[in-house]
Amino acid sequence: MAKLFIAGILLALVVSILPMALPFSSFIFSMTSLGLKQDKNLNENYRAQIVDYSPIMHPWLEVIEKMGIFERKVFMCTEINLESLAGRSIDVKYDAQLRHDVRISETKDIIFNNETDSTLTLTLFYGRPNKIITFNKTNGKISLKAVPEENVEANTFHSERIRDTVFKDVIEITEKHIEINNGKYIFKAVIPKSTETPVLFVQDQVPLDVLPGMYPQFKRLIVITPNWTFYDETLSNQPKDIDCAEPIASSVVYEFNRENGTIQKDSIVIMGGFPEMKFKK
């Protein structure tokens, strides 16, 4: 009986502390880097951050104007805001009930588009589709534009680098570096931030529409893959009486350039093998 009494006292003590613990934790998160999920220096005048100061709320976006030793919050945008700005009816009360495509917490990068006397425009980079947010400085209103699925502009520029015969410091992406969570591909190979243009060899078969969204923190990315389209077509057209014939080796080299919320792509197909690759140690 005494043990039950002591347990009851302890439980009551914990329950009485919880209401104070929530604001205390919010204070700690707001005063330290614990509440900072993403911090992006947009240019010399602005920076953007995704913050989460409360354990019972989802992150939101803030854009900060740099004013010497001081800073001023220009605007903030929650995930509920994104849902309402998209022009859809809101039948959810909490951010956690929103779809993944409107969650700020799913944003991979924040890109500065442009600024005028009255507006400031950013892109929330999700991989695909992305979202363009325009903040009106005059009336404080926010408008949202979703970049359509075809935001990857195929062969709109000519890349000299993908036509190299030798690629150095290539990072190999194998099955152990790939995780699939709710249909989303997560790549776990670590790439140093100082790398100007990473070169990746993706050994496993990954959907083509996933490649442009890999490692969005880099403006340029070169990806080398086996020519899975050629392999699949060759095997599907293979006569039924031939069981063990294999197609010739083939590869594809892509370069993705990310600028102003769009992705430019150039690619070449190599029949008969792969380019020479010197892997990063």
End-to-end CA distance of the chain: 64
Task: Give just the sign of the alpha carbon dihedral 89, 95, 97, 99.
Answer: positive
pLDDT category of residue 180 using cuts at 50, 70 and 90: confident
Predicted local distance difference test score (pLDDT) of residue 154: 53
| Tens-place pLDDT, residues 14-58 | 655 555 555 555 555 556 666 667 888 888 888 888 877 766 667
Beta bridge pairs of residue 222: 199, 255
Average pLDDT over residues 211-226: 88
Please provide the average confidence, as pLDDT, over all residues in the chain: 75
| Tens-place pLDDT, residues 232-272 | 777 766 666 555 556 778 888 999 888 766 788 888 888 88
Where do the structural domains in the chain lie, given as residue ranges?
Answer: 29-147, 152-279
Predicted local distance difference test score (pLDDT) of residue 95: 46
The CA distance from 223 to 199, in Å, is 6
Between residues 150 and 138, which one has the greater pLDDT? 138
